[in-house]
Amino acid sequence: MSLHLTPLADSEPGASSRRLAWLAAGADGVPLGSAFLRLFTKEGQEHLAELEIAVHGAERRQGVGTRLLDAAVVAARAERRRSVLAQAVQGSPADLFLAARGFRGVLALTYARLPLDDADLAAIGALVERPYPGYRLTEWAGTVPTELARSYADSRRAMDDMPMEGTDYGAVVWDVERVVAAAEAVAKRGDLLHTVAAVDTADGTVVGFSELVVPGDGLGDGQHYGTAVLPEHRGRGLARWMKAASIRGAREQHPELSGLCTDTADSNAPMLAVNDALGYLPTHKAVEYQLDL
């Protein structure tokens, strides 16, 4: 097959990454596939790149994906990246493609969805209203309030020991600037960020959080971005409390929303148990792959 790759560049790099891209087209100029390589730029992750490859179903098994992969790998090496990550639905063509080309599976994920029309909102509301001595809930839309910004950024270390199995993900360094930039990025693309946080009443600091991103029109499905509790405050049910409050808030503020989606590492038994208790139903499995350069 005669194939031409056109390199592209992201004109608007993000606060923590920038992207390279390639468009694959046939001799007639018809697009056949594309690849996007996200290059992380923040301290602690400068060694890392993330790859997405898409090939039209009718054009698979003709070398399109391989050419796109080769171009992305050359670029990743030129950028002095140590690892390239890519994700595929378990058993999909992408799953087989990555496994056959030197990528190794490093993390198994379960995706789940809560259909809001079927959710037991009474039980969820009861969870939210239960007393949790020593803690209170707070929530906000968009960027974190100034008075909570520092402790919220500090609370992001709750994700540091998130099960990543063999993934060379590096250390994500969070500060107030990064927290604000992440919220602004969600708003810029037209989505709505809702955050529920658990606050230690003894000193007023944030000790856990649960983030939910909802489409700007309030339709379709929302996506949980992260739920975590600082190690010294675990074992008290705070993750379930916050996620329950997030569910209730989504239903009240966006009555047309269909469901809430989440993904969790198979090795993260506590969060899988939280999702199960709240009524989330598994939809599919995925594999996080890594190519060592």
The two three-digit tokens of residue 140, written as one number: 């906000």
Where do the domains of the chain lie? 3-81, 111-284
pLDDT at residue 135 tops 90: yes
Query: Percentage of the chain with pLDDT > 90?
Result: 80
Task: Using a cut of 0.85, tell me whether the model's pTM lies above it.
Answer: yes
- Residue 276, SS3 per DSSP: helix
The type of residue at 51 is L
Q: Say if CB 185 and CB 287 are below 8 A apart.
A: no
Range of weakest confidence among 158-172, 210-224, 226-240, 270-284: 158-172
Residue 46's φ and ψ, nearest 5 degrees, are: -65, -10
pLDDT band at 187 (very low <50, low <70, confident <90, very high): very high
- Residue 287, SS3 per DSSP: strand
Q: How far apart are CA 216 and CA 192, in angstroms?
A: 6
pLDDT band at 161 (very low <50, low <70, confident <90, very high): confident
The type of residue at 148 is L
| Unique residue bearing structure tokens 């990025």 | 185
Q: What share of residues in the chain are helix, strand, coil (percent, to 5)?
A: 30, 35, 30
pLDDT at residue 202 tops 90: yes
Which tens digits make up the pLDDT trace of 68-110? 999 999 999 999 999 999 999 999 999 999 999 999 999 999 9
The two three-digit tokens of residue 214, written as one number: 């909802």
Domains 3-81 and 111-284 share a fold: yes
Strands lying side by side in the sheet with 192-200: 3-9, 17-26, 31-40, 48-55, 83-89, 281-292, 104-115, 259-265, 221-229, 205-214, 192-200, 135-141
Q: How far apart are CA 116 and CA 106, in angstroms?
A: 32
Fold of 3-81: Aminopeptidase (3.40.630)
Q: Say if CB 34 and CB 23 are below 8 A apart.
A: yes
pLDDT score for 29: 84
DSSP 254-273: -TT--EEEEEEETT-HHHHH
Whether CATH 1.10.300.10 fits 111-284? no
Q: Maximum distance among all alpha carbons in the chain?
A: 68
pLDDT score for 57: 81
pLDDT score for 163: 64
